[in-house]
Amino acid sequence: VTTPELPSYLPAIQIIVKEPEQMEAGMTLCGFSYSKDGLMNSRPFIFDSEGAIRWLLDIEALSTFFYPVKRLQNGHWIFGSLNGLYEYDMLGREVNRWTLDGYSQHHEIVEMANGNLLVAVSDESLDTANDQIIEIGRANGTIVKKWDLREAMDNQRFSILWNSRDWLHVNSIWYDESDQSLVISARHQGIFKVSYDNELQWILAPQKDWGRAGADGSGLLTADFLLTAIDGNGAPYPENIQQGQDRAEDFDWPWGQHAVMVMPNGHVLAFDNGFKRNFQTGEQNLHSRGVEYELDEANRTVRQVWEYGKNRGQAFYSRNISDADYLPQTGNRLISSGNIHYQGAASCKMVELSPSGAVV
């Protein structure tokens, strides 16, 4: 098959380390956006272990910024943009689309086992944004369930970022089929879990400044659901670490994180961007990392068991986007720092690590 030359806007991919015997088999899907005529355009692509781009989704007709790009169980792709969701096949043909009347999509789409779609949205009738989740019946596009996260969390907590409209900023959802719960990453608050009925289960975040939940602030005390950080011996860290004002050598909270997932062992994996780490606003100690936490939900404790990236400092720091994935065949982790601006150059770095922590 002869194809045209690749567009010049695509990035140059350099493979620095490659250990084929230890790598996860397959290729890598990369969400990619670039600026054209002053607007963001998205062109997701797939590349192989040699760094060669093998597939590109070029939908010029949309001429817009869309994300995330996810693989459906039927092999098609799904992504969202503003008030719509789109399903495309591998040949770039539109298969389906859903219009989100009264809502705007952002950041996350999750396919459930029953085929329904969980979508992170903003309700355009509210004065807040990025704090709602809806479940869409895929067959007819109707909304069958809605989570108003103002009712589960404290929408007056601005310790990370003062933004009364975008106070939460949901950027990823992990749906647990075993109990129908949602583990949610909210960039401006932390990681938390709610039941299918929107009841708060726990909060993995610095313990500073938590008040009452509820759209009007009359709900439950969210501080009662905070996890306590413990070390390898089961001892709680000092109060300055619990509050997030400092960090231990072997523990830190997630800050402005993305891409939360629950691993097969029950641990929580995420990309910790390090945005406003320890409530700092300057350029000191900037770093991002992949991080894995072990949770004891019954006793409401959390222990950090693995991390990668801290020692790379600003060379691996991305204040936004990014990803962390558990790879099922090998147990490797793929840590992707998606928007690095270091020494004047913009780049993305993707690192696959074995369970022992070796770069492969």
Q: What does the pLDDT average to over 170-191?
A: 98
> Is the separation of the CB atoms in 290 and 318 below 8 Å?
no
Mean pLDDT of the chain: 96
Q: What does the pLDDT read at residue 36?
A: 82
| Each residue's pLDDT tens digit, 18-62 | 999 999 999 999 999 988 888 888 999 999 999 999 999 988 777
> What letter does residue 221 receive in the DSSP assignment?
B
Strand order in 301-308's β-sheet?
A: 228-229, 301-308, 289-296, 268-272, 258-262
What HEC string does 300-335 produce?
CEEEEEEEECHHHHHHHCECCCCEEEECCCCCCEEE
Q: Provide φ and ψ at 292, rounded to 5°.
A: -125, 130
**DSSP class of residue 278?**
G
Q: Are 220 and 236 in contact (CB under 8 A)?
A: no
Would you place residue 195 in the very low, low, confident or very high pLDDT band (cuts 50, 70, 90)? very high
Look at 28-32, 80-84, 270-274, 282-286 and tell me which has the smallest mean pLDDT.
Answer: 282-286
Q: What is the pLDDT of residues 321-360, one digit of tens each?
A: 999 999 999 999 999 999 999 988 889 999 999 999 999 9
Q: Which residue has the tokens 């700092």?
A: 280
Output the pTM of the full model.
0.97
Kindly write down the DSSP assignment for every residue of 85-126, as one continuous string.
Answer: EEEE-TTS-EEEEEE-TTEEEEEEEEE-TTS-EEEEEEETTS
Per-residue pLDDT tens over the stretch 202-227: 999 999 999 999 999 999 999 999 99
* 98 vs 133: CA distance, rounded Å: 16
Query: Could you tell me the pLDDT band of residue 181, with boundaries at 50, 70 and 90?
Result: very high
CA pair distance 157, 212, nearest whole angstrom: 9
Is there a contact between 80 and 96 (Cβ–Cβ < 8 Å)?
no
Q: What is the pLDDT of residue 105?
A: 96
